[in-house]
Structure 1
Amino acid sequence: MRRIYHRFPQSIDLDFELARPFQDVLACMARMHDTHTTGRGPDGLVKERIVLQVADGRTQFQDLDATLTRAGAITEVADFRVGLQKTLLTPDKRLPVSENVFYLRLVDKGPVTECYVAKESRLGDMDAMDLRSLLKGACE
């Protein structure tokens, strides 16, 4: 089943190919969903979290679930909303640093998967190339 978002941006920031079949890329995306890393930043500990949502009913997104990535549940094309959140961890509280939101379209092209990336807004400290590096690192 195709998972298309009807308001996917017409202006694409980056398009590239992953040298993996469509179902493998979906499995990689499912493994990345709701994961986080913690590293030392200039102001202290910074938690980076990845939240993935898949298009549902052409008008909205739902959280990516392992059942959606099983073979045959999503075919041909899938649109995702990728949220990359950074939070500064202090002894007293957690302070949001930035949130980068991208739209990602995956298209099945046989042995490779075509990817189209568009950033939702100009806010945040990441760009489409950073998302490409993240995906390539997770899937290859």
Structure 2
Amino acid sequence: MRRIYHRFPQSVDLDFELNRPFREVLNCIARMHDTHTTTRGADGLVKERILFQIADERTQFQDLDTLLPLAEKVSEVADFRVELQRTLLTPEKRLPVSENAFFLRIVDKGRLTECYVAKDGHHGDLDAMNLRRILKGACE
């Protein structure tokens, strides 16, 4: 079943291909959902978390956990809302550094998967190229 969001932006910031079949990319996205990495920055430890939501009934997004396994329930096209959250970890508390949101559309092209990325809003310090790097690193 196609998972399309009817308000997906008409103009995208970036389009690129992943050298993996559609089902493999869906499985990769499912593995990446709700994961985090911790890196040392200038101010201390920074936790980077990634969350995926998938289009539901063309008008909204639902948490990815409710639709697993994706490869069995999604075909042809899938729209996602991706949140990349960065939090500074201090001994006293956790301080939000930035939150970036993107729309991601993946399209089945046989042995390849076409990806379209558009930033949702103007907040955050990441752009579509950062999301491309993350997806290519995890899925290829």
Matched, 1:100 2:97: no
Deviation at 1:121, TM superposition (A): 1.6
CA root-mean-square deviation: 1.0
Q: Deviations over 1:2-55 (max 9, x none)?
A: 000011011100000111100000000000000000111111111000000000
Alpha-carbon distance between aligned partners in 2 of 1:103 and 1:38, rounded to the nearest angstrom? 24
Matching residue of 1:74: 74
Alpha-carbon distance between aligned partners in 2 of 1:78 and 1:125, rounded to the nearest angstrom? 25
Alignment-mate amino acid for residue 48 of structure 2: E
Alpha-carbon distance between aligned partners in 1 of 2:98 and 2:17, rounded to the nearest angstrom? 28
Kept in 2: contact 1:68–1:74 (CA 8 A): no
Alpha-carbon distance between aligned partners in 1 of 2:51 and 2:75, rounded to the nearest angstrom? 21
Larger CA deviation: 61-70 vs 84-93 = 61-70
Aligned length: 139
Secondary structure at 2:68's aligned position in 1? Answer: helix
- TM-score, scaled relative to structure 2: 0.96
Residues 5 and 68 from structure 1, CA distance in 2 versus in 1: closer, same or farther, beyond 3 angstroms? farther
Matching residue of 2:139: 139
Q: Deviations over 1:39-89 (max 9, x none)?
A: 111111110000000000111111112624133x10000000000000011
Matching residue of 2:44: 44
Deviation at 1:139, TM superposition (A): 0.4
Alpha-carbon distance between aligned partners in 2 of 1:130 and 1:49, rounded to the nearest angstrom? 14
Alpha-carbon distance between aligned partners in 2 of 1:102 and 1:68, rounded to the nearest angstrom? 22
Alignment-mate amino acid for residue 63 of structure 1: D
Alpha-carbon distance between aligned partners in 2 of 1:70 and 1:27, rounded to the nearest angstrom? 7
Alpha-carbon distance between aligned partners in 1 of 2:129 and 2:68, rounded to the nearest angstrom? 29
Alpha-carbon distance between aligned partners in 1 of 2:5 and 2:122, rounded to the nearest angstrom? 21
Matching residue of 2:54: 54
Q: Identical aligned pairs, as a percentage?
A: 73
Alpha-carbon distance between aligned partners in 2 of 1:91 and 1:120, rounded to the nearest angstrom? 32
Matching residue of 1:115: 115
